[in-house]
Amino acid sequence: MKNIATHALWTRARGTFYGFLGCFGLFLLCGLPSAAQTNATSGYPTQAVRLVVPFTAGTGMDTIARAVAPRLSERLGQPVVVQNVAGASGNIGSDQVAKSNPDGHTLLVGANTMLIATQLYKNVPFDPVRDFSPISMAAYGTLMLVANPKTSFKTLPDLLAQARARPGSITYGSPGVGTPHHMAMELFKSHAGLFMLHVPYRGTAGYTQDLLSGEIMTGFLPVHIAQAFVAAGKLNALAVGSAKRHPLAPTVATLQELGQKGVEADMWYAFFAPGKTPAPVVARLNAEIASILKLPEVRDLLGRVGLDADSSSPEALSAIVRKDYPRWGEVIKTNSIKAE
């Protein structure tokens, strides 16, 4: 009987011990990354990284990409190749990235125009909020509201007074429907309750030329371009669209300072990966890109084209995207804006 009792006790103890080992093993497995995640992140990157710019060479996105690419290549130990895939206001290149393997080897230099263009066109095959993994902010570009000196608009109140007294009498231009210049004015118009006539151009050159000649009365320009014309007496500065005054034009008040609360029309540029890219890959890219954007030579290079380099966490960029997407959607809907 004693042997039987001893055997029973040993059997129960052994069962408890193996049960504990089983639970402990399960705990360890749950705490480890999945095999797929491990394969996706170990040794990343394993091949060349493609950095897609969804607009032509020479644009703000292209400048950012070409400033970052060689330095990112040094840090990752693989070539980083910039590829311009223009068309449909950036939708074609963005769609390519959205449909790429989410392994960190295809990235996008995007901008807030992505949130606008996807709502201007019908049947866009991707969702700019759902189909990308935000990596980091890259830079901001400030717009300045200016007027031709032939007009009577020396200040923003001058413009507001005439627009309200004579609806439709003021013309404003932009490089095209859906451009940041156009959307900034539509946001301002909607907020101030104004009716002004939009004259869209096919590019910046013709628009700027007619703004300088007085063929059109007012419009937005990037601050570094606008300030040069303001200093030469060829344009009047009315306001800047950023949340704070810009160092290039410290005496020019913001729209918010002049009573247009909530009207922020900054252009922003950022890096994205395809949706569902593993978090460790996103974290590695975020750290490397943030480091590059802090380099004095990179900040200087971007500053020469009117861009203020700035990085962010993936979470902060995601919050900006989720805030701006419905904001621009409301402007598009309210003003019945459609792609040309």
The pLDDT tens digits for 88-131 are 889 999 999 999 999 999 999 999 999 999 999 988 999 999 99
Q: 169: Cβ–Cβ under 8 A, 6 or more apart, which residues? A: 162, 163
- What is the chain's mean pLDDT, rounded? 88
**What's residue 223's pLDDT?**
93
* pLDDT number for residue 54: 94
Cα 65–Cα 68–Cα 71 angle in degrees, nearest 5: 145
Is residue 17 within a helix (H) or strand (E), and if so which, with residue range? helix 2-31
pLDDT bin (cut points 50, 70, 90) of residue 41 is low
Place of tokens 């306001």: 239
| Residue in 52, 59, 46, 147 with CA at minimum distance from that of residue 107 | 52
Give 187-197 pLDDT, tens digit per residue: 999 999 999 99
* pLDDT for the residue 92: 95
Instruction: Report the DSSP beta bridge partners of residue 274.
Output: 132
Checking DSSP bridges between strand 80-84 and strand 307-309, what pairing results, if any?
A: unpaired
Task: Name, in order, each residue with C-beta under 8 angstroms of 194's C-beta and a sequence gap of 6 or more.
Answer: 160, 163, 164, 167, 188
- Cβ neighbours around 136 below 10 Å, total: 23
Q: In this predicted structure, what is the pLDDT of residue 135? A: 98
Distance separating alpha carbons of residues 265 and 185, to the nearest angstrom: 8
pLDDT band at 266 (very low <50, low <70, confident <90, very high): confident
Closest CA relative to residue 52, chosen from 94, 91, 87, 88 = 94
Token digits for 249? Answer: 């034009």
* Paired tokens of 41: 């992140």
Write down the pLDDT at residue 283: 98
pLDDT at 18: 44
Query: Which of the given ranges, 7-21, 27-41, 214-228, has the highest pLDDT on average?
Result: 214-228
Among 16-20, 45-49, 264-268, the range scoring the smallest mean pLDDT is: 16-20
pLDDT band at 42 (very low <50, low <70, confident <90, very high): low
Distances (CA, A) of 238 to 3, 91, 148, 311: 99, 33, 10, 29
**Distance separating alpha carbons of residues 285 and 292, to the nearest angstrom:** 11
The secondary structure of 212-257 as a DSSP string is: HHTSS-EEEEEHHHHHHHHHTTSSEEEEE-SSS--TTSTTSPBTTT
Q: Do 132 and 273 contact (CB within 8 A), yes or no?
A: yes
**d(Cα 326, Cα 118) in Å, to the nearest integer?**
12
For residue 308, give the nearest of 323, 294, 328 by alpha carbon.
294
- Exposed e or buried b per residue across 185-222, where buried means at least 16 C-beta atoms within 10 angstroms of its C-beta: bbbbbeebebebebbebeebeebbebbbeeebbbbbbb
pTM of the model: 0.83
Residue 160 has pLDDT above 50, yes or no: yes
Say if CB 240 and CB 142 are below 8 A apart. Answer: yes
Domain architecture of the chain: domains with CATH: 47-140+267-334 (3.40.190.150), 143-240 (3.40.190.10)
Mean pLDDT of 248-254: 95
Mean pLDDT along residues 240-244: 93
